[in-house]
Each structure stands twice: as C-alpha cells, then as structure tokens.
Amino acid sequence: MELHSFAKAVLDPHWKEAMYSELHALESNHTWTITTLPPGKEPIGCKWVYKIKHRSDGSIERYKARLVAKGYTQTEGIDYHDTFSPIAKMVTVRCILALAAAQNWSLHQLDVHNAFLHGDLHEEMYMSLPPSCRRHGENLVCRLNKSLYGLKQASGQWFAKFSEAIQAAGYTQSKADYSLFTCKNGKSFTALLIYVDDILITGNNVAMINSLKQFLHTQFRIKDLGDLKYFLGIEVSRSKQGICISLRKYTLEILKDAGILGARPISFPMEQNIKLSNEGEILKDPAKYRRLVGRLIYLTITRPDITYVVHVLSRFMHEPRIPHMDAAVQILRYLKYTPGQGILFPTQDDLKLKAFCDSDWAGCPTTGRSTTSYCVFLGNSLISWRTKR
C-alpha cells in the first residue's frame, strides 16, 4: 500500500514534493508494513517536520520534509533499550583539517540520505499512519521494520549499522574517537569521520577515496557533495596559505537575532579586570540570556578568543542578572568587529604536538576557585582549547 498516493493536505508544491520524496524513500526502504493493530498494543504517533536547507552563502539549497516518530511516548524496556550513539569530537575534526592542510590532501564531504532508516529495529513497534495519509474509517497502523527519525534508539542503531559495514571493508575504528575510521595499506592512508549523517573523508590516495565512496554508495544511499566547503554550519575555505574555518554566517545570525547589527563595534570582548558575581537585578526573561550564551558556546568551535568570556557567562545560566547580560552584549559588539574571524590551518607545518597551560589563583569572586586555561597545537594549528574552574 503506497501512502504517498493520497498525501494531499499540503498545498505548497515545494513541501508537497518534499513529502512525496520522504514517503517514497520510506517505502522503498521497507521501513514499515501496513497492518491492523494487534490487541494490547499501543501505537506511537508521528508528525512532519519541515526545514529549508541553506548553502553557506544563504541561498536555498532544498526543501526538506522529514517524518518523525513521537519517540517521547516510548517506554524503556518495551519500545527501546539502548540509546547511546557516539558523535565526532570537534578536536578530531580540527586534527583532520590540520593534517589535510599540511599534507595537501583533498577533503571530501558526503551526505547519507535518510541515514536513520538504515538502522535495524529489534523491538516490536507500531506507529500511526503519517498525517495527511489517513483515511476516514480505516484502523490501520505501520509496523516498524526499521528505525525512524524520532525514535530514541534511532541514532544508535544507525551508527551500529554504519560501523559494522565500514569495518567489514577493512577500516579500523579509533579508540580515541569512535566516529573516526582509518585504513592504512602500505603507503596509502584514508581517514573517514562521521557526524550523524555527515561524512568527511581525506587521505593521500584518490583511488582509495573513490573506492570508499563507491562502497558506501552500494551499502547506503550516499550523496557526494564534492570538496568540503560547509560542514556542521562551519564554513571551510582553502587557499595556498592553508585551510580556514569560520562561523561567519552563524555569527551574523546571532547578531541579527539580538538586534546588534546596528550597534557600534568594539575591539575587545570583555572589560579589563571585570569581576562578574551574583549581584545585580535579576533578568525578567532569563531564557533569552540562556539561549544567547548557548549559541556563543557553539561559536567557540572556531573562536578561541571568546572562550574565556563565554565560560564566565555560562556560570550564571541558572539565575542571570543584568550585569551578565551587559557582558554578553559586549561580546556581541566584539563579534560585529570581527564576524568572519576563525582558525587557519597552514600548509607549512611540522605537525609537532605542543601544549600550553595557564591559571589564576582563587580568581573567582564568588567561589574563590582558580580558573585554568589550556590550548594544544598540532604544529602551528590550534586544535584544542578549554577554560575551566
């Protein structure tokens, strides 16, 4: 029974086409079997989630409609057991970029279509028919054969399926980062890093990379995005000097949402010798502060210069006050001064590991605890940094 033959609720042609494409992929993958609900079983619900995918320049790439199961209604021990799934560490991403820049290796990006649908489902689960696909008087449900977006075990099942396939092809899983797989054959070396359904490949042998792409395409439905340019919202540009990463588009979005685009920029992220504490008037809308600091935390992926300031602001997430918000606005004005600043991984590099550490003594005015900062370099490339109390 083909569900997409009567999905008529959405009138916009872009979203309608996206829904048809999603339903067709689900049915082609044999994600479910249409059946009547057995006695004693309760189906979980589902919903459509719509998203417009943009390119790094802000233009529309495609309209995406995804059918998502209401996994929050699942019961542990009955509908699911294990939910853990590793994701790539940012320090691993930066290490690969530094290595590719120094060795002049090509960087390739792949996208897995409907990645979670490849995971096998071991539990007996039933789901309601998708919205806009239900007909009056019918009492039919979908018995799920494979994993679906929204299920608590979906991410773990997909990663297990992928790691099993890639290791069967001769790749070794890293013990430091389970999302990293490498293959060394004589002088040939290939590395693959996976972040949910985004795949990054590099190496010194183009033939092996092409062979890996072909293997992945036969195992899963893969879209080759070509040279790496946009990964997890990070803009990647390459030149003779090396590889540069930044979050310029993301930074401008933060400034726009905060209404700071017209503010006067400043050249420093925090007033010198400022000591934020639990004093001052409490913010009437703390959610706005928490959302802003959360976005700034993600921005530190490519902006080590604001790491310390963001670390200080994150201490007051439970009860933010006006002085804390003023300090956050100071960071935004600094970001307006340098929205495109990022990290450069140079081509001329010896790839020797170096680390630096510094700390103050009892520098926190509220707790009296020390604050320690460290950074790690791979040659001349900054790959890791952290500030903690």
The listed range with the strongest mean pLDDT (98-102, 156-160, 194-198) is: 98-102
**pLDDT tens column, 297-321:** 999 999 999 999 999 999 999 999 9
Which DSSP string do the residues of 71-114 spell out, in sequence order?
Answer: GGG--BTTTBS--------HHHHHHHHHHHHHHT-EEEEEEETT
Is residue 240 domain-resident?
no
246: phi then psi, degrees, rounded to nearest 5: -155, 165
Residue 293: pLDDT band (50, 70, 90) is: very high
Contact 377, 353 (CB under 8 A): yes
> Do 218 and 283 fall into the same domain?
no
> Do 104 and 195 fall into the same domain?
yes
> Do 71 and 177 fall into the same domain?
yes
> Do 337 and 278 fall into the same domain?
yes
Which of 231, 265, 294 is the endpoint of a domain?
Answer: 231
> Do 268 and 211 fall into the same domain?
no
**pLDDT tens column, 259-284:** 988 889 999 898 877 888 888 899 99
> Do 200 and 250 fall into the same domain?
no
**pLDDT tens column, 226-241:** 999 988 889 999 999 9
Which of 179, 205, 231 is the endpoint of a domain?
Answer: 231
Q: What does the pLDDT read at residue 361?
A: 81
Is residue 238 domain-resident?
no
Is residue 239 domain-resident?
no
Contact 130, 140 (CB under 8 A): no
Which of 231, 261, 284 is the endpoint of a domain?
Answer: 231
Short-list 198, 205, 200, CA closest to 183: 205
> Do 224 and 257 fall into the same domain?
no
Give the residue with greater pLDDT, 58 vs 228: 228
> Do 173 and 66 fall into the same domain?
yes
Short-list 93, 103, 92, CA closest to 347: 103
Is residue 256 domain-resident?
yes
Residue 61: pLDDT band (50, 70, 90) is: confident
Mean of pLDDT values over 202-208? 94
Query: Domain range holding 337?
Result: 245-388
> Do 215 and 134 fall into the same domain?
yes
Is residue 69 domain-resident?
yes
Is residue 33 domain-resident?
yes
Q: What does the pLDDT read at residue 387?
A: 86
Contact 290, 254 (CB under 8 A): no
> Do 44 and 181 fall into the same domain?
yes
Residue 64: pLDDT band (50, 70, 90) is: confident
Whether residue 74 is predicted with pLDDT greater than 60 in this model: the reply is: yes
Mean of pLDDT values over 191-196? 94
> Do 296 and 216 fall into the same domain?
no
DSSP state of 389: -
Is residue 41 domain-resident?
yes
Distance of alpha carbon 126 from alpha carbon 32, whole angstroms:
9
Tally of structural domains, the chain: 2
Tell the residue number behind the tokens 């590719």, with chain if given: 100
Alpha helices in 132-245 (DSSP H): 154-168, 206-219
Whether residue 325 is predicted with pLDDT greater than 70 in this model: the reply is: yes
Residue 136: pLDDT band (50, 70, 90) is: low
Mean of pLDDT values over 49-62? 81
> Do 27 and 162 fall into the same domain?
yes
Is residue 78 domain-resident?
yes
Which DSSP string do the residues of 342-381 spell out, in sequence order?
Answer: EEEEESS----EEEEEEE-SS--TTT----EEEEEEETTE
